[in-house]
């Protein structure tokens, strides 16, 4: 009888038994076993941590970083006063400098995950400005500047009890197969991390949240993590979801929690 009750509780309310820290330790252990020669912290460089030749090429490219303009533009936008005289800095802790390691967070009052991009738009709305489109350049520039000021800080994502359901939803999305190819995020970046996919090496998820926004040569511009989520989903034949929609925010929440303790090194460049 006890077993039935337990089974029913688990089935109806999986978040009641969620253990984010246990998940993170198991996640980290998986990569430690898979790549014993690589320090977990080195995965912040994505696929470049896995291949010395590609890493060398990437480091050469980093001498003239293609995201530099985005950081400069972002700073100018960040410091530009709103029509009411206030600035973005007035909306954030520490005037918005060096705080990206705390994003995304679960807003208990609103009952949802708040990413940096959402917080930027909330700031605009509070100050009477129209929100920026999430697929536009301006929001990526602002996030690039804020990421730049947060470099070397370590992720400290918290999952309060109220945020467990959002965390679990993100976790489910990460492990769920989708698209015509029937792949999950984990199929490529956990089970097959380090393997070649045509000419590219599949990166490990353990460093996936550290370096955003990113200048992707394929995009020829700086873009956010959700833009990459859409691309990943489409690559396996699934219809991508909307940037900063609840599902991708939950996914970012889970993925960033898995990166807790890792250094931020955004913005970055990727092929």
Partner 1 sequence: MAQRVESKMKLRASGILVLFSVFLLTGCGDDQAVDSSVPVEAEMAQPSTDETSTAAMIEKARALYEEAELKEHAWLVTSRSIDAATQALADNDDEAARVAAKLAIFTAQASLQQAETEAMSWKSRVPK
User: Catalytic residue numbers?
Assistant: 232
Q: How far is the CB of 187 from partner 1 (least distance, A)?
A: 8
For partner 1, the binding residues (CB under 8 A) are 3-4, 6-8, 10-11, 23, 26-27, 29-30, 171-173, 175-180, 182, 184, 186, 190-191, 234, 237-239, 241, 247
- Could you tell me how many residues make up the chain? 271
Gap between the Cα atoms of 51 and 59, Å rounded: 12
Gap between the Cα atoms of 240 and 226, Å rounded: 10
CB of 178 closer than 8 Å to CB of 168: no
Q: How far is the CB of 59 from partner 1 (least distance, A)?
A: 31
Closer Cβ to partner 1, 91 or 241, answer by number: 241
Tell me the Ramachandran region of residue 103: left when phi exceeds 0, alpha when psi lies from -120 to 50, beta otherwise: beta
Closer Cβ to partner 1, 110 or 177, answer by number: 177
Q: How far is the CB of 20 from partner 1 (least distance, A)?
A: 12
Closer Cβ to partner 1, 84 or 234, answer by number: 234
Closer Cβ to partner 1, 71 or 230, answer by number: 230
Closer Cβ to partner 1, 61 or 236, answer by number: 236
Q: Which residues neighbour 68 within 8 Å (Cβ) at sequence distance 6 or greater?
A: none
Q: How many Cα neighbours within 13 Å face the side chain of 226?
A: 26
Distance of CA 8 to the CA centre of its chain: 33
Backbone angles phi, psi at 266, to 5 degrees: -95, 165
Q: How far is the CB of 60 from partner 1 (least distance, A)?
A: 35
Q: How far is the CB of 13 from partner 1 (least distance, A)?
A: 12
Closer Cβ to partner 1, 165 or 238, answer by number: 238
CB atoms within 10 A of CB 216: 19
Would you list the DSSP string of 42-96?
Answer: GGGGGGGGT-HHHHHHHHHHTTS-TTHHHHHHHHHHHHSPPTTS--GGGGSGGGG
Backbone angles phi, psi at 22, to 5 degrees: -60, -40
Q: What angle, 0 to 180 degrees and rounded to 10, lies between the N-to-C axes of helices 20-34 and 246-258?
A: 60
And the tokens for 269?
Answer: 């460049």
């Amino acid at each position: 009888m006890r077993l039935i009750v337990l089974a029913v509780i688990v089935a109806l309310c999986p978040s009641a038994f969620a253990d984010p820290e246990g998940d993170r330790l198991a996640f980290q252990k998986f990569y430690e076993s898979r790549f014993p020669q690589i320090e977990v912290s080195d995965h912040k460089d994505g696929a470049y941590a896995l291949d010395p030749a590609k890493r060398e090429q990437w480091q050469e490219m980093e001498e003239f970083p293609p995201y530099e303009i985005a950081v400069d533009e972002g700073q100018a936008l960040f410091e530009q006063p709103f029509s009411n005289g206030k600035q973005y800095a007035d909306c954030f802790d520490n005037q918005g400098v060096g705080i990206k390691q705390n994003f995304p967070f679960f807003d208990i009052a609103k009952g949802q995950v708040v990413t940096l991009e959402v917080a930027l738009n909330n700031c605009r709305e509070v100050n009477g400005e129209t929100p920026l489109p999430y697929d536009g350049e301006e929001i990526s520039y602002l996030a690039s500047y804020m990421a730049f000021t947060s470099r070397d800080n370590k992720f400290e994502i918290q999952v309060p009890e109220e945020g467990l359901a959002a965390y679990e939803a993100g976790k489910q999305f990460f492990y769920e197969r989708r698209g015509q190819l029937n792949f999950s995020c984990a199929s490529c970046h956990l089970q097959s991390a380090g393997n070649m996919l045509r000419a590219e090496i599949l990166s490990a998820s353990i460093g996936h949240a550290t370096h955003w926004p990113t200048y992707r040569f394929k995009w020829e511009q700086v873009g956010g993590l959700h833009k990459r989520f859409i691309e990943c989903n489409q690559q396996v034949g699934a219809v991508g979801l909307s940037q900063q929609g609840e599902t991708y925010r939950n996914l970012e929440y889970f993925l960033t929690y898995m990166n807790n303790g890792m250094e931020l090194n955004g913005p970055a460049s990727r092929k």
